[in-house]
Amino acid sequence: MKVDSDLNDAQLTTQIQTIIEKQYDLGELTRIKEILGGYCNRSYAVWVGIQGQSKKIFMREYNPNIVESEIRFEHALLNHLRQNGLDIVSGVIPCRDGSTFVKTSIQGQKATYWGLFEFLEGEDPYTWIKTDLTDAEFVSAAEILARLHHAGRDFIKPEGADRAQPRIMEFIPTFKNTFSSYARKAGHRRCDRLFKANKDRIFSVIDGCMTAEKNYAGMLQVPVHCDYHPGNLKYKNETGVGLFDFDWAKIDYRVFDVALALVYFTSEWNGSAAGSLRMDKFALFLKSYNAQCALLDGIEPLTQKEQENLIPMLAAGNLYVLNWDLMDFYETENADDDEYYTYIEHNIFLMKWTEDHAADIRRIIQKICL
């Protein structure tokens, strides 16, 4: 059967058709459409048909650098979340043999991993840098984050399943060596100059994050999304109806996931205020998160200790994104200097702004969490 495909690669089309028809009980593949916009993985919408009934499914071709234990962790977590009532995440579609992914190999190359998921309907008009949500969408996003933490709170990591990247307070101390290596290879591009001019202050913030760790004992740890930004949600009528991209998920401090979400959702990218936090949206998101936690039986709003450590976690969250900016720029061949300058400059501005406005942020936190 001929497959309607928008891929300009007949071999890839054939490979996808073989995977679906040989490894799954879904019927014949009829159509493939690549979903553009992701940075780490390749994604496809695929249509399969059984007895004249067509069904749309989401297919992921994982980044070649992923390891099998990470996929096992992601899929086990998704299944757990759905079983605990978070039905806005994609269900993992099992293979004929009961596994949740397919591994293909070409001699001399890294293995490729594939997964199939229920397709999430809804609109995804935002990205990690396009964040002008309506107030109703901000509220919905905050509530979904609370529901995620609630649904995952009793997750037990299966044997042989884990995120390869360490938890945030094990990860932050590695940044100095990583950034020092980038500084040594930096040339004279705009991003190089920007990074080198701010390296000392970045290192100072890293030191501050590491110093704050002594206060973190006993804070709640749950499965965290670790990439919770507006582009990973689908909306319908200003309500979040789909949450996806769990391949960075791990078990970590709950307040880190909240802080990272605040960095992503409430920082300003445009105009004279670019590189700041929109404090009205910050307050709305945090208030909505706590209110939803209060309604759920099993997870409480941010504790006093979490409130006190939210500011250093904001710094950690921003460093986490800055690390991605720099890593992707310095480890991607022919990276776009202008594009990455926008990202790196934003996170450096936000790093400075958060330090300079810590007292203002603290007042908002105290007011919201009373």
Q: Please check whether residue 288 is in contact with residue 142, taking contact to mean a CB–CB distance below 8 angstroms.
A: yes
Q: Report which of 152, 154, 153, 150 is spatially closest to residue 292, judged by C-alpha positions.
A: 150
Residues 56 and 119 sit within 8 Å (Cβ to Cβ) = yes
pLDDT at 1: 60
pLDDT in tens, 65-94: 899 999 999 999 999 999 999 999 999 999
Q: What one-character DSSP code corresponds to residue 218? A: T
Q: What is the mean pLDDT of residues 337-349?
A: 97
- What average pLDDT does the segment 220-240 reach? 97
User: Stretch 263-284: mean pLDDT, rounded?
Assistant: 96
Residue 138, helix vs strand vs coil: helix
Q: Is the pLDDT of residue 53 over 90?
A: no
What mean pLDDT do residues 212-220 have?
97
pLDDT of residue 107: 64
According to the model, what pLDDT value does residue 370 have? 66
Average pLDDT, the chain: 94
Superfamily classification of domain 4-118: Phosphorylase Kinase; domain 1 (3.30.200.20)
**Per-residue pLDDT reduced to its tens digit, 93-135:** 999 999 999 999 876 678 899 999 999 999 999 999 999 999 9
Greater pLDDT, 334 or 108: 334
Q: Which residue ranges does the chain devote to CATH 3.90.1200.10?
A: 135-368
Please write the tens of the pLDDT for every residue from 274-330. Answer: 999 999 999 999 999 999 999 999 999 999 999 999 999 999 999 999 999 999 999
Give domain 135-368's CATH superfamily. Answer: Aminoglycoside phosphotransferase (APH), C-terminal lobe (3.90.1200.10)
pTM, full prediction = 0.95
Q: What is the pLDDT of residue 80?
A: 97
CA dihedral 133, 134, 137, 142 (to 10 degrees): 70
Which residues of the chain does CATH 3.30.200.20 include?
4-118
Per-residue model confidence (pLDDT) at position 54: 87
